[in-house]
Chains A and B, each alone.
Chain A
Amino acid sequence: MFAFIVRRFLQAVFVMLVISLIGFSIQHQIGDPVRDLVGISVSKKEREALREKLGLNDPFFIQYGRFLKKALHGDLGRSFFYKKPAVDVILSKAPATLELVFVTSILVIVFSIPLGIYCAIFPKKFLSRLIMGASVVGVSIPVFLTAIMLIYIFSVKLGVMPSFGRGELVHIGGYWYSGLFTWDGLKHLVMPSIALTSIMLPLFVRLIRAEMMEVLESEYIRFAWAKGLKPKRIWFVHAFKNTLLPVITVGGVQLGTLIAFTILTESVFQWQGLGFLFVEAVERADTTLLVSYLIFVGFVFVLINTLVDIIYGLVNPMVRITGKK
């Protein structure tokens, strides 16, 4: 088990190094830290002097080493647009995205588990067919289109829902301004989280159904039936437990999908979170911020995937013996 955790950890460090190398080479190639510092109204000679002073004429890998060292101390450079350290900008936007993802996750968990289980237990019933049909339609509607429809119906036509922004916020502490504790903030949260749920929910309903159906076919479930156990006990205790494991791993993989969909949802609702920040950084060619976002998201992503793998290894001995899925 220890060897498994170490191996997983080393792999995570390696992936982070690759991400940081990519990030750094982008910054190295297209970013201009001198412009970011002094603007464009400084003479060429002064710029050259500044370049030398900042060590921008050093070999690539020496600069990369310096970049890594600074990154480990939580310094990823300054944002050209915000005139602030990029890490500060990212941390100040992160709570907005976290709140959106948090509410969406709750909605997805609350709905996908009962729906998925129902469809797996009674695959032939009308309601199951309806749910599965709806889920195909659900995955076929792009999230930005759902968002636009919601805005058109509830904001433009009916005028009952706010169409953009986060509304009234409460300061919780540090970088965290929350919209979860005011009526206005919650109201602003409704449509973005529904849009995001509309695309994530069908994925998980289908996943839970497929896994559960596979488990229900297995030998030990047949044995449980033969033993004469109550159906409820078989479904919810014996079968469901073994359905959860693969759902957790595949769910971890879906994190990347969630990040992508968050970018789309946030850009439609102008939700002041990380995704919107990313789109703005691209439009403004704010390279430092762009790279910091990539490294930050990469870090969160690798961290969560590694944790999921380790938890999976802890509960499922088969994984740690062979070392892979």
Chain B
Amino acid sequence: MSTKWQQFKNSYFFHSFIHDKVAIVSFVVLVMLVVCSFSAPIIAPHDPYDTTTIDVLDAETPPIWMEGGNPNFLLGTDAQGRDILSTMLYGMRVSLLIGLGAVFLQAFLGVVIGLIAGYFGGKLDSLLMRLADVQLSFSTLMVAIFISAIFQAFFGINKYEELAVPFLIIVIGLAEWPQYARTVRASVLAEKKKEYVEAAKVIGFGSGRIMWKHILPNTLSPILVISTIQVANAIMSEAALSFLGLGMPVTKPSLGSLINSGFEYIFSGSWWITIFPGILLVILILVINLLGDWLRDVLNPKLYKG
């Protein structure tokens, strides 16, 4: 174990990490945000899902440093009297869950399709890649908005809100698999010609085993780079859908629906309901994007543009 750690510490990867201030800061902030959001039930001062503790009389309390602030509510309360800080922590957990879930789904689909297309080639390959082209030309966000609108019309708003989390994961996950598929395929095409693959074939391993155990590990670095950026994209898409009222309901809010629910109150001056979740969302997406940029520079994989 210690040698593994030693190896990691001497690696180029670790070296460029500790010499890049932006990467360190982003990483630390991201870890803090993730820890805070998943330990929300423990550290949050209030439980926004528990309706018995919410008092409408507390509604629209400004943050603590402003006139009329209540020390009970550090960042103020929203229009229903929920503590903004707690709602934000719970909301970020929902956003992260959906973002990660969607990326797992798209990575799984994309990797499988990319491996198959690259390894077998021929008609199957051109069919799958044509499909990926068509799918990519419609942007994720556009497809996701349309599909959720259709589903909402189909199921009615109440049923939709119950299914919101798995549904958002599936919609955002299905919309972006081509990114993975094209990149994995490109690496597979390069790897396929190498000798170790031929050796594996000569030994008599099956195609499945060669694809999963031999080729896949060598295509990991582009997958890692894409995944980082895709998590940011997925969180952004989820926020946009929720903002349009097509995502998470206000009773079980994500950051996007918090921003949406606070929007109408900025005209009466209650800016904190919208701005605080907004800032948190921007920080979350920004640190993930910065880490993604750094990873891309370090690992420098051949990525598919577009």
| Interface positions of A (Cβ within 8 A of B) | 15, 26, 29-30, 136-137, 139-145, 148-149, 151-152, 156, 163, 210, 246, 249-250, 252-257, 259-261, 263-264, 267-268, 278-279, 282-283, 285, 287, 290, 294, 301, 305, 324-325
Which of these, A140, A163, A260, A282, contacts B152 with CB under 8 Å?
Answer: A282
B residues 272-299 with Cβ under 8 Å of A?
Answer: 274-275, 278, 281-282, 285-286, 289-290, 293
Sorted from nearest, which 9 A-B pairs have the closest CB atoms? A256-B139, A260-B141, A140-B286, A257-B139, A140-B285, A260-B142, A256-B142, A282-B149, A145-B278
Q: Tell me the nearest residue of chain B to A291, going by C-beta.
A: B150
Which of these, A30, A136, A144, contacts B289 with CB under 8 Å?
Answer: A136
Chain A proximity of B151: nearest CB distance (Å): 10
Number of chain B residues whose Cβ lies closer than 8 Å to a Cβ of chain A: 43
Chain-A contact segment, one of B29-37, B41-49, B55-63, B239-247: B239-247
The answer to whether A142 touches B281, judged by C-beta atoms less than 8 angstroms apart, is yes
**Measured between alpha carbons, how far is A209 from B149 in the docked complex, in Å?**
36
**Measured between alpha carbons, how far is A246 from B278 in the docked complex, in Å?**
34
**Measured between alpha carbons, how far is A46 from B141 in the docked complex, in Å?**
43
Whether, in the assembled complex, B14 has its beta carbon less than 8 Å from a beta carbon of chain A, the answer is no
**Measured between alpha carbons, how far is A260 from B271 in the docked complex, in Å?**
26
Q: Tell me the nearest residue of chain B to A308, going by C-beta.
A: B137
**Measured between alpha carbons, how far is A148 from B232 in the docked complex, in Å?**
21
The answer to whether A257 touches B259, judged by C-beta atoms less than 8 angstroms apart, is no
The answer to whether B142 touches A257, judged by C-beta atoms less than 8 angstroms apart, is yes
Chain A proximity of B288: nearest CB distance (Å): 8
B residues 182-197 with Cβ under 8 Å of A?
Answer: none
The answer to whether A144 touches B240, judged by C-beta atoms less than 8 angstroms apart, is yes
Residues of chain A contacted by B143 (CB below 8 angstroms)? 256
Residues of chain A contacted by B152 (CB below 8 angstroms)? 282
The answer to whether A145 touches B153, judged by C-beta atoms less than 8 angstroms apart, is no
Residues of chain A contacted by B293 (CB below 8 angstroms)? 136
Whether, in the assembled complex, B13 has its beta carbon less than 8 Å from a beta carbon of chain A, the answer is no
Chain B proximity of A318: nearest CB distance (Å): 16
Can you report 29 residue pairs joining A to B where beta carbons are below 8 Å apart? A26-B150, A26-B154, A136-B286, A140-B286, A140-B289, A142-B236, A144-B259, A148-B259, A148-B263, A148-B266, A148-B274, A148-B278, A151-B266, A152-B271, A152-B274, A249-B306, A250-B305, A250-B306, A253-B136, A253-B139, A259-B142, A260-B141, A263-B244, A264-B240, A264-B243, A279-B245, A282-B149, A282-B152, A283-B245
Q: A136-B289, A142-B239 are in contact. List 4 more A-B contacts (CB 8 A).
A: A30-B154, A145-B282, A151-B266, A256-B139
- What is the predominant secondary structure among interface residues of chain A facing chain B? helix
Number of A-B contacts defined by CB within 8 Å: 111
The answer to whether B134 touches A15, judged by C-beta atoms less than 8 angstroms apart, is yes
Whether, in the assembled complex, B5 has its beta carbon less than 8 Å from a beta carbon of chain A, the answer is no
The answer to whether A263 touches B145, judged by C-beta atoms less than 8 angstroms apart, is yes
Q: Tell me the nearest residue of chain A to B126, going by C-beta.
A: A324
With A148-B259, A260-B141, A278-B149 known as contacts, the answer to whether A142 contacts B240 (CB < 8 A) is yes
With A156-B269, A264-B240 known as contacts, the answer to whether A254 contacts B245 (CB < 8 A) is no
Most A CB contacts (10 A, CB to CB) among B244, B245, B290, B306 go to B244
The answer to whether B263 touches A268, judged by C-beta atoms less than 8 angstroms apart, is yes
Q: Tell me the nearest residue of chain A to B269, going by C-beta.
A: A156
Which of these, A29, A139, A255, A260, contacts B240 with CB under 8 Å?
Answer: A260
Residues of chain B contacted by A143 (CB below 8 angstroms)? 240
Residues of chain B contacted by A140 (CB below 8 angstroms)? 232, 236, 282, 285-286, 289
The answer to whether A145 touches B259, judged by C-beta atoms less than 8 angstroms apart, is yes
The answer to whether B305 touches A152, judged by C-beta atoms less than 8 angstroms apart, is no
| Cβ proximity bits B11-32 to A, threshold 8 Å, 1 near / 0 not | 0000000000000000000000
**Measured between alpha carbons, how far is A26 from B151 in the docked complex, in Å?**
10
Chain A proximity of B240: nearest CB distance (Å): 6
Chain B proximity of A253: nearest CB distance (Å): 5
Residues of chain A contacted by B139 (CB below 8 angstroms)? 253-257, 259-260
Which of these, B153, B236, B275, B289, contacts A26 with CB under 8 Å?
Answer: B153
